[in-house]
Chains A and B, each alone.
Chain A
Amino acid sequence: LADAWRDTPTKWYPLPIGIGALLLVVLNYRKNYSSKEVVVDGDGNARRGGRWGVHVLGALPLRNLSRLWGYLNSLTLPVWFRPYGFRLYAWVFGCNLDEMAEQDLKHYTSLGDFFYRSLKDGVRPIASTALVSPADGKILHFGTVEGARVEQVKGITYSLDALLGSSSPSNPVETVPFTHGNPDARKVSDEQFADVNGIPYSLDDFLGRISQTRSVEGDASVPSASPSSALDVGVRVALGSKEAPTKSSRLFFCVIYLAPGDYHRFHSPTAWVVERRRHFSGELFSVSPFVAQRLQDLFVLNERVALLGRWRYGFFSMIPVGATNVGSIKINFDQALRTNVRGRLPPPGTFREATYSGASTLLSGQPLVPGEEMGGFCLG
């Protein structure tokens, strides 16, 4: 081998014209459409950039793979195979089959159907604290938002504006009309808001201190926040205005990772009002802890749905982030939302926005109570 390596002469041959032309076409395609990395500047605007890790991952057709994965898992399985197949899946990924609402495994027609299973009533008691977990999963990271940046993992941060979106002349927003396409969707009238799903909730539970927040504006005794402060960014993004923050509040964040075997529906973590959603079409990189520790701006690059609103302490947002195997995000009260659809990706940082003000004229949004099912992630 050493002799061959040392002594074998290198001979160069011209590529056939056809192969050369094909390579040029592929390279041109990659250059135009597959340069995946997004760099977020100081103002929170996302733009294409270049770290090699993202380029390598971005070269993979993850979105197409995700849709193919979804299609394969939507195929109807033979009835005799379902109990064996689903029990094997449950054993591999640690699913607790006793918690399922539908115990007959033959009822689930496909792996996708089984993956999106619902749970029995009462198997998840809802704690009576300010904030409960919205999903089954693992806490990846949590803390406070400092300087309008959210920490992905220790030492790696991304811009809050890029995560939640911001409208600016350089980043136009495409507003889509929203109607409650689902006739079963709960529309809360002004009279009913205090009795949601049989649970008495007062207006204060939903809106709480918002009125106090507004009253702080102009108060000379309250230190004014700089325009770039994280709190101001969050409140401004949520309310669409330059609301002044209160002096005793901060922005907090938390990231929950849902592993393949986990129950994949998500629920409301508190009593809050969702005012709008912003759908960011994007990549579908894996969001496993391994990748999250290595890929910068992961949560800004991936397809996600930012649900923005208010709770009794001010701004509140919940952002389901898709991944390769679970690229489809469903929101129960938003039947018009379509994620992981075929087509060319829009420019990074752009989003489609819909407002839920029609759900309740008094609350100006979709009210949710703790533990209420909001939607989920589907395979592919």
Chain B
Amino acid sequence: SSIVLVFEAPDDFVWKVHAGQKVKYGEVMGD
């Protein structure tokens, strides 16, 4: 299964993850 997020955000939105990274729910993804 997969989850896709699509959202509008300001231009200065910064991802705090990288492709292939394992994450747990509640972990930082972006800010």
Per-residue interface assignment for chain A, residues 269 to 293, with 1 indicating a CB less than 8 Å from any chain B CB and 0 otherwise: 1000000000000000001000010
Per-residue interface assignment for chain A, residues 244 to 273, with 1 indicating a CB less than 8 Å from any chain B CB and 0 otherwise: 010011111111111000011011010000
A125 at the binding interface (Cβ < 8 Å): yes
What is the interface size of chain A, counting residues whose CB is below 8 A from a CB of the partner? Answer: 63
**Complex contacts, B10 vs chain A, CB 8 Å:** 248-250, 313
Most buried by A among B6, B9, B13, B31: B6
Q: How far is the CA of A130 from the CA of B14 in the complex (A)?
A: 10
A65 at the binding interface (Cβ < 8 Å): no
Per-residue interface assignment for chain B, residues 16 to 27, with 1 indicating a CB less than 8 Å from any chain A CB and 0 otherwise: 111111111111
Inter-subunit contact B7/A317 (CB<8 Å): yes
Inter-subunit contact B8/A315 (CB<8 Å): yes
Inter-subunit contact A136/B31 (CB<8 Å): no
**Complex contacts, B28 vs chain A, CB 8 Å:** 127, 129, 131-133
Q: How far is the CA of A163 from the CA of B2 in the complex (A)?
A: 13
Inter-subunit contact A124/B29 (CB<8 Å): no
Inter-subunit contact A269/B29 (CB<8 Å): yes
Inter-subunit contact A139/B21 (CB<8 Å): yes
Q: How far is the CA of A125 from the CA of B23 in the complex (A)?
A: 12
Inter-subunit contact A287/B1 (CB<8 Å): yes
Contact surface of A with B, Cβ cutoff 8 Å: 124-127, 129-142, 145, 150, 160, 163-164, 231, 234-235, 245, 248-258, 263-264, 266-267, 269, 287, 292, 299, 304, 311, 313-323, 326, 370-371, 377
